[in-house]
Amino acid sequence: MVFKRISLSAVKMTRSLLLVLMTVGLLAGCSGTDRLKYQERSVTELYDMALDYLNKGQFKFAAVSFDEVERQHPYSSWARRSQLMSAYAYFKANKLEEAILSAERFVSLHPGNKDAAYAYYLIGISYYLQIADIRRDQKTTELAMQALSEVVRRFPFSKYAADAKLKIDLTRDHLAGKEMKIGRFYQNKDDYFAAISRYNRVIKQYQTTSHVPEALHRLTEAYLAVGILPEAYKSAAVLGANYPDSEWYKYSYDLMQKYNVKQP
């Protein structure tokens, strides 16, 4: 460990060594956990120790050290600062649920703080990084979109808004992909009306996503399968008007020729 390289015979101990000695006391008996053994310290000692952990990349210990600042000195100005730093440290440690809880606590207690924009962004990005593949429940995806939308709504001119908008678009694309997967499942089971409902949802709710051309083509297929030719023609026409170079339009065009569907 790094502690062994520090000479205790030095005439003057540096600030770094003082932090190490204090850390040893706090971590006694805590091997294998993220919890610190309680020892009362001054607010500056605790905060400096947490920063030291952060700078060394020991993010889990940094997070619980920042938590300790608030626990021991809840009414100090350092406590407010530590709440957000704790959220950031948890985020860096990939403890995303803890990061969300810490950031939510910060914004609930200090909604008008100058760093509230970052706290909201941290909540959104923490949900975003937990988005599962389209085969699983999309509750986390919806929470990510809600949280990122809050960043854009509350802080439209902040430096976090542009990235939040980009990730909202990616999140919407993810949700549309889920709807398409369900729609294809119903279509493969010959449950065409259930499939049509899903494809229409993609077109209406996620009209700016990359899944719309396929959704229009699948609608054409489904309407042809149930014999509703005017609607099949309409979906193919919309596809051709908006995505004339798409491979999906080529497939729909070939289908319309095959079934000899004419304009109603």
pLDDT digits over 22-46, tens only? 343 444 434 444 455 656 778 889 8
Q: What is the pLDDT of residue 36?
A: 54
Q: What is the pLDDT of residue 206?
A: 95
Q: What is the pLDDT of residue 16?
A: 37
Average pLDDT over residues 89-118: 94
Residues 6+ apart with CB under 8 A from 30: 36, 37
Lowest-pLDDT range, 3-17, 142-156, 243-257? 3-17
Which position has the higher pLDDT, 40 or 126?
126
Q: What is the pLDDT of residue 136?
A: 60
Q: What is the pLDDT of residue 141?
A: 87
Q: Count Cβ atoms below 10 Å from residue 153 Cβ, excluding itself.
A: 11
Average pLDDT over residues 127-149: 83
Q: In the predicted model, is pLDDT for residue 77 greater than 80?
A: yes
Average pLDDT over residues 159-171: 94
Helix/strand/coil (H/E/C) assignment for every residue in the chain: CHHHHCCCCCCCCCHHHHHHHHHHHHHCCCCCCCCCCCCCCCHHHHHHHHHHHHHCCCHHHHHHHHHHHHHHCCCCHHHHHHHHHHHHHHHHCCCHHHHHHHHHHHHHHCCCCCCHHHHHHHHHHHHHCCCCCCCCCCHHHHHHHHHHHHHHHHCCCCCCHHHHHHHHHHHHHHHHHHHHHHHHHHHHCCCHHHHHHHHHHHHHHCCCCCCHHHHHHHHHHHHHHHCCHHHHHHHHHHHHHHCCCCHHHHHHHHHHHHCCCCCC
Q: What is the pLDDT of residue 35?
A: 52
Which position has the higher pLDDT, 79 or 197?
197
Quick: pLDDT tens for 60-73.
999 999 999 988 99
| Token digits of residue 63 | 């997070």
Q: In the predicted model, is pLDDT for residue 21 greater than 50?
A: no
Residues in the chain: 264
Which position has the higher pLDDT, 93 or 34?
93
Answer whether 261's CB lies under 8 Å from 224's CB. Answer: yes
Question: What does each C-alpha distance from 195 to 28, 210, 225, 239, 251 come to in angstroms?
Answer: 60, 18, 11, 18, 18
Lowest-pLDDT range, 20-24, 47-51, 71-75, 216-220? 20-24
* Residue found under tokens 């606590």: 105
